[in-house]
Amino acid sequence: MKRLSLVIPLLLALACPFFLSAKKEDPKKIVFIAGSRSHASGEHEFRAGCMLLAKALNEQSGLNVEAVVVGKDWKKDKSILEDADAIVIFADGTSGIGGEWEYLDGLAKKGVGMTFMHYAVHPNPAQGKQYYQPWIGGAMESGWSVNPHWVADMKVMQGHEISNGVPDVVTCLDEFYYNMRFVDDRQSVHNFVTATPTRDNMHRYINLWNQHGVDGLNKEQTLMWGYERPGGKGRGVGFTGGHYHHGWALDGFRTVVLNAIVWTAGIEVPEGGVKSKSLTEDDLNANLDDYGKNQKRLKLPNVEDWKKLPPAKVNEAREAGFKNEAKPKKKVSQSGSKKK
């Protein structure tokens, strides 16, 4: 008995490292910051979009993650972000940041991943340079970038885990911004998703259309980019799509975004991509913002219908004005006479 009493502690000591190593790791925490109601029913559905992505991560992906959705008033309790491995902001402009630039900058410097989607990639130029470029490698910039609605044949970067489980081409109608303002070291930015805008696949030219947009036609443009911060200080992603809620019903569209989000959290993207269930019409309409009598019942999208859309009419007079705007203006002397 005495000998047995000595053996048991020894066996426990030997087994202890095994039990410790077998202990399940804490889940990676991903916090979605969803903006408020905006635009019209079926557009800028920030909360509904975040909730369906969070549901996919929590209930369908099989990954060891904890996804949480908060509103833009998150700053009332910053503790929600203190232990986040990644943050996703899907909101109008910088409203999701809520003025907490330095706080979020501190998290980025600690290595917290960040994903900005659609309008959330659009700060002012100074904010883009000071914060967005170090966080995610680039941003939209008024006067430089454009925001047309077009039917893009999205192509995902091959040879990178971002492409896992994503078809070679995903076709979607969206307000895909392009011609982003990237960091000076452009080669450090991954072109995760690209597509080529043409006159034929344009659906609408709207407020920010400019000469850069015209010059970018028939050239491959980056719609989603990835950035690995220098010194291993985390990862960032920018995605210009997401205007229309219908995009989430496209399996490839949804998968590449989920892949990007887990990539920023430092999780290896599964070989078949992040799993999620195909959406039903009820799934697509869940948690939409309330627009009262103007509420729409969204239908599952039909890609073939988008391909049949006629090209947007070109406002030639407007575009001719772009060239005039680009011409350097003659300087005026203090006396008021023009200098030649």
Question: Could you tell me the pLDDT band of residue 80, with boundaries at 50, 70 and 90?
Answer: very high
Question: Could you tell me the pLDDT band of residue 230, with boundaries at 50, 70 and 90?
Answer: very high
pLDDT at 324: 76
Q: Span 236-246, mean pLDDT?
A: 98
Taking phi over 0 as left and psi of -120 to 50 as alpha, with beta for the rest, 113 belongs to beta
**Does residue 150 carry a pLDDT above 50?**
yes
Q: With residue 82 as reference, give the H or E element that holds it.
A: helix 79-82
In single-letter form, the type of residue at position 295 comes to: Q
Q: How far apart are CA 203 and CA 194, in angstroms?
A: 18
Q: Span 203-227, mean pLDDT?
A: 98
Q: Which residues, listed in sequence order, are joined to residue 155 by a DSSP beta bridge? A: 169, 194
**Does residue 257 carry a pLDDT above 50?**
yes
Q: With residue 106 as reference, give the H or E element that holds it.
A: helix 101-109
At residue 71, φ and ψ (nearest 5 deg) are -90, 180
**Does residue 306 carry a pLDDT above 70?**
yes
Start-end of H helices in 115-208: 125-127, 133-136
Could you state, in order of their start, the residue ranges of all structural domains in the chain? 26-287+298-325
Question: Could you tell me the pLDDT band of residue 18, with boundaries at 50, 70 and 90?
Answer: very low
Task: From 297, 277, 275, select the one nearest 286 (Cα to Cα).
Answer: 297
pLDDT at 327: 59
Q: Write a three-state SS string for 14-33.
A: HHHHHHHHHCCCCCEEEEEE
Tokens (6 digits) for 339:
């200098």
**Does residue 105 carry a pLDDT above 70?**
yes
Indicate the pTM of the whole model. Answer: 0.90
At residue 115, φ and ψ (nearest 5 deg) are -130, 130
Does 204 or 338 have the greater pLDDT score?
204
Tokens 């889940």 belong to residue: 27
Start-end of H helices in 71-162: 79-82, 101-109, 125-127, 133-136
Q: What angle do CA 51, 57, 62 make, to 5 degrees?
A: 155
- Mean residue pLDDT across the chain: 91
**Range of weakest confidence among 13-17, 90-94, 117-121, 203-207:** 13-17
pLDDT at 325: 74
Do 327 and 91 form a contact (C-beta atoms < 8 A)? no
CATH topology of domain 26-287+298-325: Rossmann fold (3.40.50)
At residue 322, φ and ψ (nearest 5 deg) are -60, -45
What does the longest C-alpha to C-alpha distance in the chain come to?
110
**Percent of the chain at pLDDT above 70?**
89
